[in-house]
Structure 1
């Protein structure tokens, strides 16, 4: 029996987020760049191609490939961001930052935005098995409880969260350092939000604040 086509959400928003992450990493000052520039271009190709195929075919095989590469991308860039942040903290601790305050400030901003976009992509792919599973109406338990699901009488029928909803979740986690209107339900969701908040807190409090204090 042929696979019944499922109307999945468009991929333009997460694709733009991935390109934004790669672009920010490409413009980071050299003293915090730990990954060669050519790696970013290869990663972009590896991630964007499955998203294009999913958009054109709605194939369950390619959705699994898409999910795998995005999860690997997220893990790699979380590790890369943590290493960059540690390097910047080392610069502030061991060397006078007065001569590179603008560089530290721009780097901290790029790391913060990368942090938000990367975790938004992970939330989007993890919750209830990913966007394809949610579009099929899967019975997998959700990792996050959105207010629309808690109060279905005030939203459209068959409402499902899209990438922009997870981007909102990632932004709130990085700015408020706590859940806002979207509640984490599983331990992995809580651990991911704790990690995102920690990276954001270190970036803003230690790096960005220090850079602002020494700006000429």
Structure 2
């Protein structure tokens, strides 16, 4: 027996929308950071994600908006994963080819920009990939999880019918970018492990090579 779409509890979209806006406001406020893609592409990507998010919040039973939300987030993540890699390569090129002493502030702000967008991008990926996304998790399908949260391993300490929300995946992405390894959340699937390794590599290169070099040459 299928469950009517309108009766399925919808995960609030405001935490993910707020995280998206907060990160891009911080990135835009950073001085002299390096751009690889044009600014209008960045604004378009943000709008591409926000519009279906708002539509899903207003019309939770609409399958079209849910698919658009998922596809737009995956496209957004692909664009920014490529952009982050290109920016990181550019920063390493500045350090190794050009004298960085005159661009210390640019290096530092760019490294912070790369790190923040890296965390945001992978938090969206984790949120949408795990067990088919928020809608499929709300259905409580038998699909195997990609990550094992502590509440899932010890249900006696969790609220009844607990399911991970976007903030849980944001914390997972933040911890992966800072600890460079799993902390309290364990990856189970191969794609989860691959994504966490990729995020850790980007974060490690950003902090160890770019940010450390920028701090070293600050007057």
Task: State the match for 2:211 in structure 1.
Answer: 208
Larger mean CA deviation between 55-64 and 150-159 belongs to 55-64
Query: Given the alignment, which residue of 152, 155, 176 partners 2:155?
Result: 152
- Deviation digits for residues 15-59 of structure 1, max 9, x if unmatched? 122223443554566672111111122222221111111001112
- Deviation digits for residues 112-148 of structure 1, max 9, x if unmatched? 1111111001100100100111112122110000000
- Structure 2: unaligned runs, 5 residues or longer: none
Distance 1:126 1:24 in 2: 26
What's the Cα RMSD here? 1.7
Inter-CA distance 167–2: structure 2 relative to 1 (3 Å threshold): closer
Task: State the match for 1:83 in structure 2.
Answer: 86
The answer to whether the 8 Å contact 2:33/2:106 transfers is: no
Task: State the match for 1:173 in structure 2.
Answer: 176
The answer to whether the 8 Å contact 1:24/1:114 transfers is: no
2:145 is equivalent to residue 107 of structure 1: no
- Structure 1: unaligned runs, 5 residues or longer: none
Question: Normalising by structure 1, what TM-score?
Answer: 0.95
Query: Given the alignment, which residue of 60, 63, 66 partners 2:63?
Result: 60
- Deviation digits for residues 45-99 of structure 1, max 9, x if unmatched? 2211111110011123211110000001001101000000000000000111111
Distance 1:111 1:96 in 2: 21
Task: State the match for 2:11 in structure 1.
Answer: 9
The answer to whether the 8 Å contact 1:26/1:37 transfers is: no
Question: Normalising by structure 2, what TM-score?
Answer: 0.93
The answer to whether the 8 Å contact 2:32/2:109 transfers is: no
2:194 is equivalent to residue 191 of structure 1: yes
